[in-house]
Structure 1
Amino acid sequence: MSEMQARAAKVMACIDGSGAAIAVCDYAAWASQRLQAPLELLHVLDQGHAPAHADLSGSIGLGSREHLLVELAELDEQRGRLLREQGKVMLEAAAQRVRAAGSVGPVTRQRHGELVDTLRELQDEIRLLVMGRQGEVSDSLARHVGSHLESVIRTLHNPILVTTGEFSAPRNLMLAYDNSPSTRKGLDMLAQSPLFAGLPIHLLMVGSDSSENLAALQEGQQKLQQAGFSVTTALRTGEVEATLLAYQREANIDLIVMGAYGHSRIRQFLVGSTTTGMLRNTQCPLLLLR
């Protein structure tokens, strides 16, 4: 995305009927103000929740009962209308909340279809996507990852802010740094983005105490310091997910920035995914970079 496109792009927040929607609104309002970017609130009527339009005329016992078919069709139509109205009510409530948080002129949009397909279609408009860890289906499971979230993360190439718990304006952040191309790009983004201006940054690498890793950390630290940041570096050994989570608790980190799904699906099937584990277990928001 060019600099001109980045300036024109918006913060987009996915709004649904889950408890996570409140934090999504609050973090999206915070991000749009920090970025000075337009804010759009999106609600997608998922086809999985939409009325079924199957032809039941040939089903056993229904073929000769046309009035039942008519009633079923009317019920489907009514249910669809109610779902649309419910979505509009949620979007208006979300718009009121972000306006109260200081956002000016938020736009609301309701779409029909699959969430992943909708976001893929809109991704050129998105500078930052904000989603909750839980969706409506998984809302009762405190650390369960929403059914659409992983698919969205794998599909889009936009930065995605995944919210957890209640909103708290970040006072610091941690970059999980492994000197890979994606995290080097993430480091450049941290250095340039107004989203993080003025926030202390912890640069954490999980790996061996080698000269190569120490040099990579020092290079990253210098780049961020040249951009005006206060930087703390750390090199820890251990299992990646456990080490990241332990450091987050130890240093009271408010926001974790990390690359997403860096290995193949086959490797993740065999050994698991750090990204999925972090999504399940983190107690603070994750900013995921593809």
Structure 2
Amino acid sequence: MKQVLACIGATASSAAVCDCAAWASERLEVPLTLLHVLDRSEYPTEVDLSGNIGLGSREHLLEELASLDEKRGKIAIEAGRAMLDAASERVQAAGRQAPSLLQRHGDLAETLAGLEADIRLLVIGLHRSQAHSPGMPIGSHVESVIRTMHRPILVIPGTFEVPGNLMLAFDGSETTRKGAQMLAQSPLFRGLPIHLVMVGENAERQAALDEAGATLEQAGFEVSRAVLEGDAEPALHAYQQQHGIDLLVMGAYGHSRIRQFLVGSTTRNMLNNSAGPVLLLR
């Protein structure tokens, strides 16, 4: 069964991720699962210290270090379970159904790829170098997840409030055309005003913009259309601030032959500088 999956960890954004995922689960009328992944690189299941210089023949030291690593791993597992329990209590305190809890050991992106078939929406925190600081680079874990997943990803910064409107950054690509259709069909944002915004104008893209706007209007949305000039990222941010946009929707990639390796530069810049949630479409 399709579900909303939320990644919970020891980060400042986890509470916001929890709140957002609970809201999305209720709107979409699908179950909620909270996931904690214990990073294999930080907490390996097996540690081989026999090659350490100076420790080769000192077996008691090797055994002690191995024992400490084992204890460290057990504590990390217990801490992860405690975080999941606290997140579950937060969801239920808001009057929502108890979520499923899932804990895994390994790489985050690989774990999510294995769960992808059952994911309708992934909610993940924006792991900047400094919490709540737009302008700081997004973490490598988030970027790896964006490259790996083929489901919509809702990226949350340090706080979450239920959105009162949203903006679709429309570039005429197949991804954003499908995105307009997805928004029209999904109950997630039903009833919210949508700003359909494009940077740069030509006849073909204008026709696509009008078609997307008509699709959303036929689905009952109040649609505002805008065509902006200038560079995409600063133009979109300026519009977002000017119109008080609560949530941004955009494609994860631009038109690039190396897009399978890199998150699109505009996408990365928007995430780096966003103070609010960003829904990435694939």
Q: TM-score range by the shorter chain?
A: over 0.9
Distance 1:35 1:230, change over 3 A: same
- Match of 2:240? 248
Give the letter for the 2:270 counterpart. M
Q: Which amino acid aligns with 1:186?
A: G
Q: 1:213 to 1:140 in 2, by over 3 A?
A: closer
Q: Tell me how far 1:268 sits from its aligned partner.
A: 10
Q: Write out the 4+ residue segments of structure 1 that deviate beyond 6 Å after TM superposition.
A: 267-270
**Structure 2 counterparts to residues 178-257 of structure 1, below 5 A:** 178-208=171-201, 210-257=202-249
SS of match in other structure, 2:209: helix
**1:4-50 per-position Cα deviation (integer Å, ceiling 9, x unaligned):** xxxx3000000000001011001101100100110000000001210
Amino acid at match of 1:67: H
Q: TM-score, normalised by structure 2?
A: 0.93
Which of 22, 32, 39 lines up with 2:32 in the alignment?
Answer: 39
- Structure 1: which 5+ runs fail to align? 1-7
User: 2:156 aligns to what?
Assistant: 163
1:23 aligns with 2:26: no
CA shift at 1:269, angstroms?
Answer: 9.8
Partner Cα distance (1:251, 1:207) in 2: 19
**8 Å CA contact retained: 1:23, 1:167:** yes
Give, in whole Å, the separation in 2 of the partners of 1:181 and 1:16: 34
Structure 2 equivalent of residue 50 of structure 1? 43
Please show how residues 278-289 of structure 1 align to structure 2 within 5 Å.
278-289=270-281
**Counterpart in 2 of 1:259?**
251
CA 1:47–1:139 in 2, change beyond 3 Å: closer, same or farther?
farther
Secondary structure of 1:95's counterpart equals helix
CA contact (8 A) 1:51 1:79 kept: no
- How far off is 1:51 after superposition? 4.3
Which residue of structure 2 lines up, in the alignment, with residue 5 of structure 1?
Answer: none
Structure 1 equivalent of residue 82 of structure 2: 89
Query: Match for 2:215: what amino acid?
Result: K
Note the 1:133-148 alignment, pairs <5 A. 133-134=126-127, 138-140=129-131, 142=133, 143-148=136-141
Equivalent in the alignment of 2:68: 75
Distance 2:50 2:260 in 1: 45
Q: Cα RMSD between the aligned structures?
A: 2.1
Q: How many residues align?
A: 280
TM-score, normalised to structure 1's length? 0.91
The verdict on how the C-alpha distance between 1:68 and 1:244 changes in structure 2, with shifts beyond 3 A counting, is same
Distance 2:259 2:182 in 1: 28
Unaligned runs of 5+ in 2: none
SS across alignment from 1:234: strand
- Out of 49, 57, 63, which is 1:64 matched to? 57
In the alignment, which residue of structure 1 is the partner of 2:266?
274
